Each structure stands twice: as structure tokens, then as C-alpha cells.
């Protein structure tokens, strides 16, 4: 069956709407096309997108994680899916910013969602699920950048060499089911509670990646990072945990930078990926310097 190519037409063609349905683009996405659809009985968010192999995004995995995240009380419900389209219940809520998540009460709520993700989603997860190992992602990104003749090739090998250093520093890990994309825009607050959305990159990996990503993506200061680690693990971080955490935080920032490099050559979305790459390279270099200074 051939589907409409316009995202709104594609969303409205889904066989789940009651009565007259209308759709508008929903801003904020930098990987997928999102449409807000209103019909006679509900509002829902339609995420339009197929597998994205260059980012290791497999929609069967996103679907399973989305179902489990709702069952775990972390994320809105899945209403419908078919190849290329995922329909999620709409939550009337405010999208968080980094400044929001730097506020103690919001940061506490965000960490609670991360802990619920790691602890509770595996109880509800069905079927096969992907792993997420950031250093494999970085190695794969480097190959994609070479194949695409990226303008960033002059620095790619140095970044990979630094990633080898960081991977050794992280060492052995405990395994949890992580979100792995803790950007501020993936947290919503409805005035009563916070939600965590968008499970494109979900998979089994290290809890340090989510904790480091939460810090790197939201500009947490050292005191907030110490609170984050102590609250997650139930004790003050020792020197070994600090070192492994800081290495993973740098890797999380590097992943976001190299993700954006790949988007520069593969995405058709109207977004300034070049500026995003530059910003995250700065974040990465600062995190790497901190790791090297304090290890």
C-alpha cells in the first residue's frame, strides 16, 4: 500500500480517527516528523518515520519500549501503530528546557523518571530489544561520516582515539534498560507530574550513560552532578565512580555531536545541525577536559 508523502496527509490517513480529523505539525523534533491530530474524541501525536539505520533506530524496538514505558508509568500510552507511524496519546504539557531541569524540584522529578525507566521498564518489556553501547555508536558514526565525505573528517580520527580512552575508563558496567536520549525536550511537565517521551534510542546499556547524558544535555553543575550520583546510587560517589561517570558524560556529549554530524549529511529536516554540532563539540571538549583533569 502506498502512503501519502505529506506528513499531515499520512497521519490523517490512519484508520483510527473518529469523525472529522485535522492535523498540524508539532515542532521540536530533530529526528522525526511529528503531527498533532485532533478528531471528535481525542488528540494524539503521530510520529512519522521508518527505521533509520545510520542512527541504529529500529521502530520495532521503539514500539516495544514505548509500550513498556507506559506500563511502567513513565510515558503516555501507545494508541496505534503501523509501519512508518506511531500514535501516542497527547499530553497537555510544557516541554522542559535545560534551565527548567536545573531547578532542584524538576531535576528530582527527572531523576525519578530515569530510575523508573531503569528499574521498571524491564518488568513490562516484551520481545527482543536492542542494546545501546555508546562507543559502538561512535565507531559506526565514524564509518557513516567517512562514507558521506563529511566536512568533519579531519577531526573524526582524533575523536575516535579519545573515545577509546573513554571506553577504557568506563570499564565494566551494570546493565539496565535506558532511554539514552535525555535531552530537555524529551521531558514534559503537565502541571502535576513529569513525563519522559521518545524511545527511539532505548536499549540495554549502562546507567552512567543516562546520568551523564542528563548532566551534559542540561548543563548541570558539579554540585548537581554529585546530588545526581548520590541520589541514584544511594551513597556519595567515590573516586572510581566519579571517574567512570565523567568518562561516560564526555562520551554522551560526543555521541550528540557526532549524531549531529551524521544529520548534517543525512537529514532533510529544517534544522541548523551545523550549529548544533559546534555547540555539542564545545560541551564534549569541556567534559573531556574535566575528566582528564580530575581522573
pLDDT in tens, 180-228: 999 999 999 999 999 999 999 999 999 999 999 999 999 999 999 999 9
On the question of pLDDT at 295 being above 90, the answer is no
Least confident piece of the model among 19-28, 126-135, 136-145: 19-28
Domains of the chain: 7-89 (3.30.200.20), 94-294 (3.90.1200.10)
pLDDT at 3: 64
pLDDT at 75: 98
Annotate the chain with three-state secondary structure: CCCCCCHHHHHHCCCCCCCCCEEEECCCCCCCEEEEEECCCCEEEEEECCCEHHHCECHHHHHHHHHHHHHCCCCCCEEEEECCEEEEECCCCEECCHHHHCCHHHHHHHHHHHHHHHHHHHHHCCCCCCECCHHHHHHHHHHHHHHCCCCCHHHHHHHHHHHHHHHHHHCCCCCEEECCCCCHHHEEECCCCEEECCCCCCEEECHHHHHHHHHHHHCCCHHHHHHHHHHHHCCCCCHHHHHHHHHHHHHHHHHHHHHHHHHHHHCCCCCCHHHHHHHHHHHHHHHHHHHHHHC
Amino acid at each position: 500500500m502506498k502512503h501519502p508523502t505529506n506528513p499531515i496527509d499520512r497521519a490523517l490517513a490512519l484508520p483510527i480517527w473518529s469523525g472529522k480529523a485535522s492535523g498540524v505539525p508539532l515542532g521540536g523534533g530533530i529526528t522525526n516528523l511529528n503531527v498533532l491530530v485532533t478528531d471528535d474524541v481525542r488528540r494524539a501525536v503521530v510520529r512519522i518515520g521508518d527505521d533509520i539505520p545510520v542512527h541504529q533506530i529500529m521502530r520495532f524496538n521503539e514500539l516495544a519500549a514505548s509500550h513498556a514505558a507506559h506500563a511502567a508509568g513513565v510515558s503516555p500510552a501507545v494508541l496505534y501503530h503501523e509501519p512508518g507511524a506511531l500514535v501516542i496519546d497527547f499530553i497537555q504539557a510544557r516541554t522542559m528546557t535545560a534551565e527548567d531541569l536545573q531547578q532542584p524540584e524538576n531535576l528530582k522529578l527527572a531523576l525519578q523518571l530515569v530510575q523508573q525507566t531503569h528499574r521498571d521498564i524491564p518488568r513490562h518489556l516484551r520481545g527482543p530489544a536492542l542494546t545501546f553501547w555508546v562507543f559502538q555508536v561512535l565507531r559506526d558514526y565514524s564509518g557513516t561520516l567517512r562514507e558521506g565525505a563529511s566536512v568533519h573528517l579531519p577531526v573524526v580520527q582524533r575523536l575516535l582515539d579519545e573515545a577509546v580512552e573513554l571506553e577504557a575508563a568506563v570499564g565494566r558496567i551494570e546493565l539496565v534498560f535506558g532511554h539514552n536520549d535525555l535531552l530537555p525536550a524529551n521531558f514534559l511537565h503537565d502541571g502535576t507530574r513529569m513525563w519522559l517521551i521518545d524511545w527511539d534510542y532505548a536499549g540495554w546499556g549502562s546507567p552512567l550513560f543516562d546520568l551523564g547524558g542528563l548532566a551534559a544535555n542540561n548543563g548541570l553543575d558539579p554540585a548537581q552532578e554529585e546530588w545526581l550520583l548520590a541520589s541514584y546510587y544511594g551513597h556519595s560517589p567515590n573516586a572510581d565512580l566519579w571517574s567512570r561517570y565523567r568518562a561516560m558524560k564526555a562520551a554522551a556529549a560526543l555521541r550528540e555531536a557526532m549524531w549531529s554530524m551524521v544529520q548534517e549529511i543525512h537529514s532533510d529536516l529544517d534544522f541548523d545541525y551545523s550549529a548544533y554540532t559546534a555547540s555539542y563539540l564545545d560541551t564534549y571538549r569541556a567534559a573531556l577536559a574535566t575528566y582528564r583533569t580530575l581522573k
